[in-house]
Chain A
Amino acid sequence: MQTRLSSLVRGVSKHAARLLIVLGLGGFLGATLVRLAPGYGVDEEELDSRLNQESIQALRQSHAREDSLPGFYVRYLIQLMKGDLGDSQTLHQPVRQLLAERFPETLKSVGIGLALAWTAGLTLAMAAVMARARAVDLAACLLASVLLCIPAAVMALLFVIAQAPGRLVLGLIVFPKIFHYSRNLLLRSASLPHVLTARAKGLGGFRVFLWHVLPVAAPQLLALAGVSASLAFAAAIPVEVLCDLPGIGQLAWQAALGRDLVLLVNLTMIVTLITLLANSAADLAANPRRAGEA
């Protein structure tokens, strides 16, 4: 018992350490991408013909203050350990306050979106497999294909016109991906010999699906669940911008346009953390024994 507990503690510590390293790396790489991309440190204000030479130089120098990327990142990490996430350069507000206001909004959107996507996706995939009828599968595939082909902007606009909740758009964007993966995984599992045996022995369709098809595809579906979290966050950006939802997706877009390094680093780390947690949880759920492994 004690050996199992210590093994579990060791495993969890290793997971946590790995998480922190990847998180730190994610923040640094995100900062590098932003910092090295063209357009960093320029300000639209420079084009104002009222500004004289000195003012334009002062404007440029104010952006050049954080020239050293490693220096910036070290300073950022030190501040982070004190709980200070820095100030947004574009919105001139503490990042902590911005995230506190907007993160719940995005969580709500992503939660609702994922719930809709998984409910619809898995249900349709199940229907396609259990019905064992080409027509059902065809209809489901066509629906998913149609939704995949509609641009997010058009979908969002349709929802705005219909005055429907914009959050549902997220679900409709993620649903086709979940459906296609789930359908293919479940179909493959359903074609395995043991399923044929179960049917031959007279087991009902739903029982066969629940006890013999779904468990085989479970690890992959759990991995898909982890991945769908990051897909949903990525989809949140255009949806929030278009549907005017004040979440971190909208914040991310504004930060990207303004090359707001501090805000972008924080957002990158949040998305990295969520991705890591979601995928780690999916891995552990698929294989609990891995909790104690190196």
Chain B
Amino acid sequence: MNRGYFSRAGLIIGLVFLYVPILSMVVFSFNNSRLVTVWDAANSPTLKWYVALLSNAPILRAAWLSIRVAASAATGAVVLGTLVGIVLARFGPFRGRTLLSAMTTAPLVMPEVITGLSLLLLFVALEQLIGWPRGRGMLTIILAHITFTMSYVAVVVQSRLAGFDESLEEAAMDLGARPVTVFFRITLPLIIPAIVSGWLLAFTISWDDVVVSQFVAGPASTTLPMVIFSKVRLGVSPDVNALATLMVSIVALGIVASSVWMHALTKRREREAQLAVAANQ
């Protein structure tokens, strides 16, 4: 089975390729030298870039704006994206279904410069036409982010629903449950994991976006990626390494915590199911 060795070697090299840049940022965030990539062994490790980062008011302000934008956008995207996912997975054929599915998949691959430009031109045209949204800022960033992150939620929800057949929902209907009741008692609990991961995905994509935000943000609202982008365009700066390390640690902790939680949840479900079976016998 030399093919097995070949692909395994490829996997290891690929993982090294994925992680070496991240690790290098983590290592150099503790470097004393301003030259970033030259290790100053005498005075390192140091936390001075973390101190510099946490006392940098523009970065903190931008981070706070980004958190609010990402949380609002993810929440809006979850509501709209879940609706789309349910419609595409459960509603069968209806007029305009093809268009809806096209408008859901296209944003997944649309180059960001085009999304950004087109949304900005829409906001400008709307302001001329109906006077809303007045100017550009946090609101326009949130609207733009909802629009291109809801597709990700829709895909996650749709593929989760595709994994279950409709018999549970049909059974509830046959027993006389109203559609709203069926949704809240049957469908929603089934897709809760998809909704949670959809929210996190939308949050991350919004939190990370620089191109679309650059187009639709007004002069007064600068998100964190916009600050980072303008900083790193001028060259590497060590406090960005510190920021990267903080973000990577938060994500890694979050992923470990969520997988532990998911594991516990599945275990509890299985136990409850076993208890239910035992009680029936």
Are these two chains actual partners, yes or no?
A: no
**Using a CB–CB distance below 8 Å, which chain A residues touch chain B?**
none
**Using a CB–CB distance below 8 Å, which chain B residues touch chain A?**
none
